[in-house]
Amino acid sequence: MQMLLAGEWVDRAETIDVRDPFDDSLIDTVPSASHDDVETALAAAFAARETARKMTTYDRCRILLRTAAIVAERVEEFATIIAREGSKTIIEARKEANRTVNTLTISAEEAKRLNGETIPFDSFPGGEQRRGHFERVPIGVVLAITPFNDPLNLVAHKLGPAIAGGNAVILKPATVTPLSALRLTEAFLEAGLPGDVLQTLTGHGAVLGDALVSDERVRMVSFTGGLEAGKHITTKAGLKKIGMELGSNSPVVVWKDADIEWAAETCVSGAFWAAGQNCIGVQRIFIHREVYDRFRDLFVERTNAYTIGDKMDETTDMGPMITEAEAERVERWINEAVDKGATVAAGGSRTGTLVQPTVLENVPAEATIHYEEVFGPTVNLYPFDDLDDAIARANSADYGLHAAGFARDVEVCFRLAEGLDAGSVLINDSTDYRLDSMPFGGVKGSGLGKEGVRFSLHEMTEPKVVCWYLPNL
Ligand code: NAP
């Protein structure tokens, strides 16, 4: 596919192969953008911010709703692209395509609710003859950088609010999964978005990133990805807004009176969705010692029942990891934990990009898989005796995106909700639940700022005050 630069679909002599991680087959190629392309994109976006700002709310809504309708009409096509270029099974990919329709629809709805307020200037002496208000105005140029694991919906989470807010956008999708983003870009243009308001540049973040991120014409960098790249971007960004949606190693606490069957069922799905390549995937489960064996047995039984392999097969539960290098890293982390004393209760091995869904016990605190984000299909089980101790252990990680607790006792539920340090706490559900309109974002190493359409829209607009001096009032 071509990339969209300054209103034109363009090719480049240097290209990047987009391959299916299941069988390494070539799906397509995309241009590898150069530094000259970055400069062209920045200049075009800076000029296009006027076009974007002047689009009426009616037009922004109409374009967003039409784009949502195009995705809805072609859900199967979008799902197939997501499944082929990424790690998701076709069942998982369909869910993402349908969520994208919702994300774009909410973006249109929220554009209509972008209200200001009147300001009581007479609330301090000297302001008696002043009247005024603030409205929310576009910030100008938004740079959106997205990861591979939700290659369509996480793009919509940036483009939807940016366009709803009247901004020009440069999108830099993940290099391994650019096709979903390019198809969505096509849909926006088909829906009537002026071609220079959105540009989608394909190319390596490590090569193009600094020039994009540090440019003063960009007023906000909205980044979703890993902690390492996120930290790097914050050092380069300079004077501009940044939104950081980073990773996690989400904890779950299972109290002794919980519905153990449900907890095991939903946490297995939460751990292995998208082969664990999920920022809110379950990674660490703390289980009250009285119910530990029962939970472990149910969890292992369900894990062993998983079918892994061909993503396009409707009966496959879990697909491959995004690259063989990533699968090798997860295998290395499992082996390191085992060398340090962990035991494997299920899975533990790898073939090519396929890592078996893996359950570990007795994982020591020194093992990387205990304290780092694994971003793969493995989960650690730990027994506990005391609730406060379990909450403290859950909070001991440097991340805090989602956390979850299972209990029937309402006071225990409240202690979990108040004690777990995360952007969201799920009660009687796994960490792997998100509504696209809710505030979403983490604490500590999981990020800064909030997404979720209304919250992104606020980040991508700013209040502008209009104050009238009326001496004859
Ligand atoms: P990644 O390696 O950090 O890459 C994310 C994006 O950043 C890609 O487009 C990448 O481009 C780009 N990038 C890399 N280095 C850059 C630099 N120096 N300057 C500018 N851009 C740069 O992450 P990933 O492997 O794609 O995704 C996995 C991570 O994302 C996990 O940590 C996961 O938890 C996190 N995530 C967070 C959320 C959330 O909402 N909190 C959601 C999903 C995923 P290239 O592809 O060209 O390298």
SS (H, E, C) 404-433: EEECCCHHHHHHHHHHCCCCEEEECCCCCC
Structure tokens that stand for 432 in this block: 């792997």
Cα of 116 vs its chain's centroid, Å: 28
Domains and CATH numbers, the chain: 3-247+442-466 (3.40.605.10), 250-427 (3.40.309.10)
Residue whose C-alpha is closest to residue 97's, from 162, 160, 180, 170: 180
Structure tokens that stand for 110 in this block: 């929220």
**Mean pLDDT over the full length of the chain:** 98
| pLDDT interval class at 178 (50, 70, 90) | very high
Helix axes 90-111, 153-164, angle to 10 degrees: 10
Indicate whether 155 pLDDT > 90.
Answer: yes
pLDDT at 282: 98
Name residue, tokens 């807004």: 241
pLDDT at 217: 98
Which of 15, 16, 85, 149 has the most ligand 1 atoms within 8 A of CB, as the residue to mutate? 149
Residue type, 321: M
170 within 8 A of 78, measured Cβ to Cβ: no
pLDDT at 21: 98
Which of 182, 220, 279, 438 has the most ligand 1 atoms within 8 A of CB, as the residue to mutate? 279
pLDDT digit string (tens) for 54-110?
A: 999 999 999 999 999 999 999 999 999 999 999 999 999 999 999 999 999 999 999
239: burial class by Cβ within 10 Å (0-12, 13-18, 19+)? exposed
Is 181 near ligand 1, meaning CB less than 6 Å away? no
The residues annotated with a catalytic role in the active site are 245, 279
pLDDT digit string (tens) for 355-401?
A: 999 999 999 999 999 999 999 999 999 999 999 999 999 999 999 99
Q: Is 289 helix (H, G, I), strand (E, B) or coil?
A: helix
Give distance in angstroms: CA of 335 to centre of ligand 1.
25
**Bigger pLDDT: 290 vs 195:** 290
pLDDT at 473: 87
Residue whose C-alpha is closest to residue 250's, from 338, 99, 378, 407: 378
| pLDDT interval class at 277 (50, 70, 90) | very high
Indicate whether 193 pLDDT > 90.
Answer: yes
Is 226 near ligand 1, meaning CB less than 6 Å away? yes
Q: Give strand pairing partners of 99.
A: none
pTM over 0.95, yes/no:
yes
Structure tokens that stand for 198 in this block: 């959105």
pLDDT at 195: 87
pLDDT digit string (tens) for 115-139?
A: 999 999 999 999 999 999 999 999 9
